[in-house]
Structure 1
């Protein structure tokens, strides 16, 4: 999101107006509202509808886009600016959906879905107000499992525009030592791996709060992913003593680094004994913080 903001304020996003300086000679009108030269963030009717309403109430300005953006940085609270930045990213995504798929959302729909996502992300990463801040927050770092239990940290990489994704995982013991890792386009391969190597006591951690909640729920999942969630629950029960829990992104960095590898390859890859070199630094970092 920060990279998006930096590219936007420096006019580095590939708008029609921007790429016209590099040889593009097609239609220069706004993709979303079809008026004038593309003006996605400052003058577009859709953007004005969104930022002119609650919770921002930002009125039309004669400032340039960069001046307008910097004024928001200095005049808004951090939380409000974070919401604005996420909304601007959603507007950009909506513009691309309109351009490439001829599919766009209304202003209220964009605001509702974006704020729901933002609130979920904030809750997942916010320290509870009643936490004793004089004590270290355990979820901010990777914690080792108890003796005789292994921990499997998992993560995934997905893009809505591509009909597949990838998952990965790393298994460590109570001393924080590497046991195994995998990379594969399967949401439940980590659990299958535990079964294959006869691991019956494990903690499975993910930084996707929605997935953790769905897996732990006793109710049937009626969403489009219900069948997948049901299969994951079945594998959890088959392994044995498995605890599924949420971990903050900082506590899941090894799996997070592996995620891009699983996305790029459609081949199942397993590593035992020796971890891949590009995650060694994160493994050592977690090990020394136990």
Structure 2
């Protein structure tokens, strides 16, 4: 068994990374000595190798974060046996607005889509909360369970997940939503990016501009 193979099999990953970075740095410095007549300080070689390894790890963190952001910006299929409800509310300065919701199954097929205009709204969060309340009510009426509820409104999602909503002017609507969620066994509420909620977003804004 070679020395390198022995290290790969026995050393933990961080030490393997240090070993190969040092090996590469020594090779580079060796070439500088042979071809350029450079003088080498081993301590500087080690310091240089560790700096390069740290830069590489930082770059990997940034790349992985960017990849996660791209994934989170896409709509994701729900697990098998679950339904996913995407909802959104639209608010206009004149107090009008709309709500839009989409229900899709594990294959991405739309089981139901719904939008309606609203009036006498006081704030964007009220439109979001109304969208949630109305669709949870419909889900209870349909007898659905095991559902994932997604919204791009962080304040709404935080309130639905148990964070204090007493300071919100829509706290009563949030309480109604909590009551419906109790009836929807094994339900999950999560925040998503706007791009991943595009279908419900379009329906809500379509409703807000198309009042009969």
User: TM-score normalised to the size of structure 1?
Assistant: 0.44
- Cα 1:131–1:169 change in 2 (3 A) is farther
State the 1:140 CA deviation. 1.0
Q: In the alignment, what sits opposite 1:227? A: 172
Q: SS of the residue aligned with 2:64?
A: coil
Q: Runs of 5+ in structure 1 lacking a partner?
A: 1-128, 268-290
Counterparts of 2:210 and 2:150 in 1: how far apart (Å)? 23
- Cα 1:223–1:266 change in 2 (3 A) is same
The answer to whether the 8 Å contact 1:146/1:174 transfers is: yes
1:142 aligns to 2:75 (yes or no): yes
Structure with more contact order per residue of length (Cα contacts < 8 Å, sep ≥ 6) = 2
State the 1:177 CA deviation. 1.1
1:179 aligns to 2:124 (yes or no): no
Structure number, greater radius of gyration = 2
Segments ≥4 residues shifted beyond 6 Å:
none
State the 1:265 CA deviation. 5.0
| 1:230-274 deviation line (CA, Å, top 9, x unaligned) | 11111111222211111101101111111122224568xxxxxxx
- Cα 1:174–1:234 change in 2 (3 A) is same
Normalized per residue, which structure has more helix?
A: 2
State the 1:225 CA deviation. 1.4
Q: SS of the residue aligned with 1:240?
A: coil
* RMSD of equivalent CA atoms: 2.2
Q: Runs of 5+ in structure 2 lacking a partner?
A: 1-60, 119-129
| 1:135-187 deviation line (CA, Å, top 9, x unaligned) | 4432110001100000000011112331x432110000111111101113443
1:196 aligns to 2:141 (yes or no): yes
The answer to whether the 8 Å contact 2:97/2:205 transfers is: no
Counterparts of 1:151 and 1:198 in 2: how far apart (Å)? 14
Which of 249, 253, 266 is the aligned partner of 2:198? 253
The answer to whether the 8 Å contact 2:147/2:188 transfers is: yes
- Cα 1:250–1:224 change in 2 (3 A) is same
Q: In the alignment, what sits opposite 2:98? A: 166
